Amino acid sequence: MSLFQPQPIPRPGPILGAYPERELSRLGGLERLADRVVGAIKGAFPRDARRYRRIIAKVERQRPALHALADEALKAEVLALRQRLRHAGLAKVPCLYAFALIREQSRRTLGLEPYTEQLLGGWAMLQGLLVEMQTGEGKTLAATLPAATAAMAGIPVQVVTVNDYLVQRDAAQMGPLYRSLGLSVGAVVEGMDHASRQAAYHCDICYCTNKQLVFDYLRDRMVRGGTGALRMRLDGLFGKRAIGRQLLLPGLCFAIVDEADSVLIDEARTPLIISGQGEDEPDPAIYRQALDIAAELQVASDFHIRPSERLIELTDAGCTAIATLANELPGVWASTRQREELVRQALFATHLLMRDRDYLVLDGKVQIIDAYTGRLMPDRNWERGLHQLVETKEGCDPTPRNETLARISYQRFFRRYLRLAGMSGTAREVAAELWTVYHLGLARVPTHRRLRRRIMPARVLANAEAKWTTIATEIGRLHQSGRPVLVGTVSVAASDLLSSRLQQANLPHRVLNARQDQDEAQIIAQAGQPGQITVATNMAGRGTDIQLGEGVAAQGGLHVIASERHDARRIDRQLFGRCARQGDPGSAQAILALDDNLIANASWRVLARIFTAGPAARLLLRLAQIGTERRHAKMRRQLLRLDEQLGRLLAFSGRVE
């Protein structure tokens, strides 16, 4: 007999009235300090998801009865539950029953029955927590539990992930489960038109990337004319709904962010900007003139490079030299501020932006490489003429300069959700920041099976030449034994360099970087086959499962080599997490050099000459990495404060953020 009497549920259309989102209040100094203190405590003592075991035991007790129901009877239970959730909201008792129903429907439609740890993770996400689950523990399936429960309660849900491939894959794989619960599912990817985007967002559950989501939100803000909540209400009150019909999103109700540390932390250093072509387009010759003047200036005497902070500082002598060199040039060169800004940007383009590390040149166009994912960002340009200067440097035709129409940071955007949750394999290092910025607590979920990953001590070589030789030798040794090897690099140039070494050694391999990003899932999925050698940028193929081929487990599983420490320890852990998934064996080791970019960025080369090997060298690299993490955290705090100040100024002026 049904727990709740089923009633017909009207299908809700697009929300055309008020746009649900959280209004951000301005925090005072004491409130900021309190948040940082509480964040530090929560970071030091994250929540253990095992505290929910008694709750999940109630879900387990429903299993035999639901397992025995015929399909039609189960559909009746789903219909009854949806009405109960619509009336009661996300109350504990109906939510627990929802988890039991979703679990049973998953078994019948997908052939996958969420195990206890996935239930724990799903319940924590429903409570508005960020869940840390080890790589390969099935976060995609775990997310269906809170997503479907909230959607059955009538709450629009956006599941946010890091690339279009994962959006399409997850929506397609989980779609049958959602549809069996009477829910619609949509996917938003690059290239969709307005009507298709709107239809996808207004599904009960929508999968989308963080960049697509934020840009579409900014477009909605432009339609609404800034913070026009009153305007939206009046629009609905008088029945016109002209504004509502143009809006893409149904509001910011509930977001579940996959790879949350990457989205909420790593990518939070750069604001997202919608631009339009400016009215006053500078003469393209100006960019060549700026680069020519920059080439005449001398490091130390005319300018200082601060690579760790990605900053160029002009000296008084440099400013004088610029004035002298630009003396006979017309136009903008007559303005002291404009000429110094132009040359500073030209110096940045020359000394801090490297081809095949920061960007690629494809088909005569400069395309930016995402520093954390290693993927191309064809829709992104650098600001204030920097992109045009790089294009000129590389011999490409400069594209038109854009002016900012709307902008927002990830920090401000995701804090606007009424309910926010997330999941990641590596979040504990930034738990304090996640609370301070987003008020997002961390819950750690135990592994389903015993972890069999063996982390070997890092090897530190004197220089890059010795490092690449050692890595190539180690790959050859493992390849002879039949073990698959995955090597992580931090740049396209590094992966190309290693590839050439392997070609010289006649070692067959596959390379995955920004040049091959369309094939990344297929390449990474094959990385566990016998004797396979894969060279990939550290984040490429994230979210793709690596299955071990026949006989690989007996050989020790997949071996992962990190060729350089990343700016964040979490990303090193993400790379190592590619091996030993779901109880499989595996091993990982970092093979490093004392002239790696991390040491250069940390300005610790003097110490590197002293500590040339052993534990002291490993400690030096670790300290340099921690220093870089702290600088990046400071930059994110500064961006958030700047963004808040800019938001207040633009709101006062009536413009969009």
Report domain extents, the chain: 29-269+410-444, 282-399, 452-624
Question: What angle, rounded to 10 degrees, do the helices at 164-180 and 92-109 form?
Answer: 100
pLDDT band for 540, please (50, 70, 90 cuts): low
Q: Which pairs with CB-CB distance under 8 Å and at least 24 residues apart come from 162-165?
A: 162/209, 162/210, 162/258, 162/259, 162/262, 162/263, 162/373, 162/542, 162/543, 163/209, 163/373, 163/375, 163/543, 164/189, 164/190, 164/209, 165/520, 165/521
Determine which of 86-95, 458-467, 593-602 has the lowest per-residue pLDDT on average.
593-602
Q: How many CB atoms lie within 10 A of CB 436?
A: 23
Give the three-class secondary structure for 34. Answer: helix
User: What pLDDT score does 235 carry?
Assistant: 53
CATH for 452-624 (3.40.50.9100, 3.40.50.300, 3.30.470.10, 3.30.9.10): 3.40.50.300
Mean pLDDT of 395-413: 84
Q: What band does 531 get if pLDDT is binned at 50, 70 and 90?
A: very high
The predicted-structure confidence for 291-328, as pLDDT tens digits, reads as follows 999 999 999 899 998 876 678 999 999 999 999 999 88
Amino acid in position 645: Q
CATH architecture of the domain with residue range 282-399: Alpha-Beta Complex (3.90)
Are the folds of 29-269+410-444 and 452-624 the same?
yes
pLDDT value, residue 595: 84
What DSSP designation does 523 have? Answer: H
What is the pLDDT at residue 4? 37
Q: Pseudo-torsion of CA 315, 316, 322, 323, nearest 10°?
A: 160
CATH superfamily of 29-269+410-444: P-loop containing nucleotide triphosphate hydrolases (3.40.50.300)
Pairing relation of β-strands 441-444 and 558-562?
unpaired
Reported as a single tens digit per residue, the pLDDT across 196-211 is: 999 999 999 999 999 9
Closest CA to 484 of 567, 558, 565, 553: 558
Res 639: pLDDT: 78
The structure's pTM equals 0.84
Q: What is the DSSP letter of 227?
A: S
Per the CB < 8 A criterion, the answer to whether 148 and 78 are in contact is no
Mean pLDDT of the chain: 85
Q: Kindly tell me the burial class for residue 6, based on how many C-beta atoms sit within 10 Å of its own C-beta (0-12, 13-18, 19 or more).
A: middle
79 CA to centre of own chain: 36
Q: How far is CA 318 from CA 91, 413, 521, 569, in A?
A: 65, 40, 48, 38
Query: Contact at 8 Å (CB) between 139 and 160?
Result: no
Q: Which helix (H) or strand (E) holds 588?
A: strand 585-593
Model pLDDT, residue 636: 84
Give the H/E segment covering residue 274: strand 272-277
Q: Please check whether residue 462 is in contact with residue 594, taking contact to mean a CB–CB distance below 8 angstroms.
A: yes
Query: Which of residues 3 and 374 earns the better pLDDT score?
Result: 374
Residue 601 confidence (pLDDT): 54
Q: Percent of the chain beyond pLDDT 90?
A: 53
CA distances from 29 to 33, 41, 635, 638, 646 (A): 6, 19, 18, 14, 18
- The DSSP letter of residue 396 is P
HSE value, Cβ hemisphere, 13 Å, CA-based, for 187? 18
pLDDT in tens, 144-195: 999 999 999 999 999 999 888 889 999 999 999 999 999 999 999 988 999 9
Tell me the pLDDT band of 374, cut-offs 50, 70 and 90: low
- Residue 641: is its pLDDT beyond 60? yes
Report the alpha-carbon distance of residue 406 to residue 316 in Å, rounded: 35
Annotate 147-159 with b (16+ C-beta within 10 A) or e (fewer): bbbbbbbebbbbb
pLDDT digits (tens, 9 = 90+) for 224-277: 875 455 455 545 444 445 566 789 999 999 999 999 998 999 888 777 877 766
Residue 421: name the closest of 122, 164, 637, 187 by CA.
122
Query: What is the pLDDT averaged over residues 69-89?
Result: 95
pLDDT tens for 420-448 read 999 999 898 899 999 988 999 999 999 99
Using 50, 70 and 90 to split pLDDT, how confident is the model at 130? very high
What is the pLDDT, as a whole number, of residue 480? 94
- Kindly tell me if the per-residue pLDDT of 647 is higher than 80: no
pLDDT for residue 642: 77
Provide the pLDDT for residue 596: 84
